Amino acid sequence: MLNKNYSAIDKAEGDSLNKLLLKDWTANVNGKPSIVTHVKTDADKREIIYKLFANNENIVVFDKQHLTSQFVDVISSDFSTILWITSILVFGFMLVSHGRIEMAVINFLPMFISWLWILGFMGIFGIKFNVINIIISTFIFGLGDDYSIFIMDGLTNEYKYGKKNLGSYKTSILLSALTTIIGIGGVLIFAEHPALKSIAVIAILGMFCVVFVSFIVQPLIFNWMVLNRKNRGLQPYTAKYLLITVLGFVMFVVISSLLTVIGAIIKFFPAPKKKRKLAFHYVLAYSFRMVLAAFVNVKKRIINPEKEKFEKPALIIANHQSHIDLALTLQLHPKIIVFTNDWVYNSPFYGWIVKMADYYPASEGAENALPKLEALIADGYSILIFPEGTRSITGDIGRFHKGAFLAAEKLNLDILPILIHGAGDAVTKNDFHFKDGALTVKYLPRIKVRDTKFGTTYQERTKAICHYMRAEYELMLEEFAPTKYYRSRLINNYIYKGPLVEWYCRVKTAMEGNYKLFESLMPKKGKVVDVGCGYGFLPYMLLFKSRHREILGLDYDEEKIAVAQNCASKRDNINFETADATTYEFPYADGFIISDVLHYLKPEQQVNVIEKLAQKINKNGVLVIRDADADLKTRQAGTAYTEFVSTTVSGFNKTNDSGLHFVSGKLIKDTIAKFPNLVLEVLDTTKLTSNIIYVVRNPE
């Protein structure tokens, strides 16, 4: 072979030969030929080889295992970045889907917890990320996303419609999880290769985590925030109210702690006892003002028409609605001594403050306190008693106990009535959730000791003053609790029932002026029927304005009735039924409302429904009809557009096969004219649409 003459092969054959035999050993880098040589050595001697060739620029030393390790590290780093990006996108999707950050957090939290658990188990079992199990982890994260959404759908449907179908969702999730565990984990767990075994372990542990958290943690949080509160007749928690409640409670704890310190300082301060006590009462009064100021979502007002300054001691009586009644009254003046409940008096947290302020436990009775109270009255202190003895759930003033009035008689004190409104709405009895509202404290004129207007004995005064304060409270409600006051409570009935329903409520109530006109036309007592009530916005507003109404809501849409029937504000005196107005047998009622309904019926059906309603109006009752007047051609376009949006674009309202039939105002008037005992009044309250209100009264 050494003596043989060889001829060079052409370039094409050379390239083929290189690709066939030498591609793993030669390469062309930046136009320069490179040769690859393998060096085998023990793992602990790799660094020696790296050092030997470190300064030779013509030689590059690399280790496949080292490169693989770096490659996995890069993938793991990118995986973490991608995971964060994906998490943000998923959370954003949930926020848009649910329309509430609270629901997005409840939905996302199980996925976050599941991922932490998976990482924790991987750390416990010594499993590291590799290219394959990263893919499996992503797959499990996606399944956890699906499971959380399914569970949330089941929970929200139960809250929205009252249908308990969460069990079917859980069954589907369980079957999906078992399929994944058996199909991936159950098979690969027997593999010999460590990487395949890691896939199996991650699949089994991951599915266990996402199923457990979805089945347990997610319903637990949702039930605490929403369902359990709805079952107790309370509004669901919201992030805003929880934050304000926590901040207020922290403020209360901080101020109570400071009061304890200040009280200890004042107690041992070298000054007369009376001055030290008065100084402490001043600190208390201003502290209560600070606590109330922490609740920024609630407006506060004090009405003092008589310019009461507590220059003369009095026995103060106030209605009792909430935990914050004490703060509302004690902020008024430093020289007030209050009768408190035993749990307040003996509280390990602030009982010492209560005792130092000379507050008195109500359980010991007003008569037993007379000697001590006489001394305080001599120093200019007034006495505060809540004569109801307990907080009112409804807000109405309950029966007064005689103890306060006996004490006023024995102590020869004027009686100063004070009315509190809004405290029960902001902090309802048996609930520490601080909601939106307005707090009003109103002074009523002093009732002098010798004033016989309310009787001469303490028994007579107890009843008479109770009736007097109830009457004044009703006037207070009319002044300070219009329909706008209840708007927040109405909207809170429809949060967590989907963004469309919630925002429809917000927009609808705003467009309707919070139903102020409809409410003013309805009787305060008696039976009221709303024909075409939809989701129940108007019926609930009528209920909030007067608990003496018995309200029935009717609608053709079964889904809307289910939503209305499952609101937190649902009470025994408000009910909803699915009904077709053309065939339904209406009950006799003191008030009927049929708003924006007639144009969904054919003309002959419109006449039939109006006649049926007119026949069922009780004496001194009223029928309110609102609908578009087709005779007003110019303004009719605006009405037609709004109906097109509600029926076609948004789908909030359903139409039958015959479509819309806008009613003529003349048809309504002619139909009412058939009943000579009825009186018709026409109200035109809008310029943008052709909606006209017809008020039909039965004076006989």
The full 3-state SS of 361-386, as one line of letters, equals: EHHHCCHHHHHHHHHHHHCCCEEEEC
Task: Give me 640's structure tokens.
Answer: 């037609």
Q: Which of 67-81, 203-217, 264-278, 418-432 has the lowest mean pLDDT?
A: 67-81
Q: How far apart are CA 593 and CA 624, in angstroms?
A: 5
Task: Give me 448's structure tokens.
Answer: 């002098």
User: Do the Cβ atoms of 322 and 427 come closer than 8 Å?
Assistant: yes
- Using one digit for the tens of pLDDT, what is the confidence trace for 391-432? 888 888 999 999 889 989 999 999 999 999 999 888 888 787
Residue 282 has pLDDT above 60, yes or no: yes
- Using one digit for the tens of pLDDT, what is the confidence trace for 636-689? 766 766 666 666 655 566 666 666 788 888 999 999 999 999 999 999 887 777
pTM over 0.95: no
**Strand 549-555 relative to strand 437-443, pairing:** unpaired
**Alpha-carbon distances, residue 475 vs 189, 368, 394, 498, 557 (angstroms):** 76, 36, 17, 37, 38
User: Do the Cβ atoms of 604 and 663 come closer than 8 Å?
Assistant: no
Is the domain defined by 65-231 classed in CATH 1.20.1640.10? yes
The mean per-residue pLDDT over the stretch 339-367 comes to: 70
Residue 624 has pLDDT above 90, yes or no: yes
* Highest CATH level, class, for 495-698: alpha beta
Q: Calculate the average pLDDT of the chain.
A: 85
User: Do the Cβ atoms of 387 and 317 come closer than 8 Å?
Assistant: yes
pLDDT of residue 76: 64
Q: Which of 193-202, 461-470, 516-525, 600-609 has the lowest mean pLDDT?
A: 193-202
Q: How many helices (H) and strands (E) does the chain have?
A: 27, 16
pLDDT of residue 368: 72
Residue 616 has pLDDT above 90, yes or no: yes
Residue 131 has pLDDT above 90, yes or no: no
Give CA torsion, residues 565, 569, 572, 576, to 10 deg.
-20
Q: Helix, strand or coil for residue 200?
A: helix
CA end-to-end distance (rounded Å), the chain: 133
Q: What are the boundaries of each domain within the chain?
A: 65-231, 298-481, 495-698
The mean per-residue pLDDT over the stretch 312-327 comes to: 91
Backbone angles phi, psi at 434, to 5 degrees: -90, 105
User: Do the Cβ atoms of 549 and 542 come closer than 8 Å?
Assistant: yes
Nearest to 472 by CA among 301, 357, 319: 319
Burial of 46 (0-12, 13-18, 19+ CB in 10 A): middle
Q: How far apart are CA 151 and CA 114, in angstroms?
A: 15
Q: How far apart are CA 128 and CA 134, in angstroms?
A: 10
pLDDT of residue 509: 94
pLDDT of residue 522: 96
Residue 168 has pLDDT above 80, yes or no: yes
Is the pLDDT higher at 12 or at 547?
Answer: 547
Largest Cα–Cα separation, the chain: 146
**Alpha-carbon distances, residue 576 vs 551, 566, 693 (angstroms):** 8, 10, 24
Query: Which of 207-211, 367-371, 549-553, 680-684 tops mean pLDDT?
Result: 549-553
Residue type, 646: S
Q: Categorize the per-residue pLDDT at 58 as very low, low, confident or very high, splitting at 50, 70 and 90.
A: confident
pLDDT of residue 349: 60
User: Please, what sign has the CA dihedral across residues 114, 116, 119, 124?
Assistant: negative
Q: Categorize the per-residue pLDDT at 448 as very low, low, confident or very high, splitting at 50, 70 and 90.
A: very high
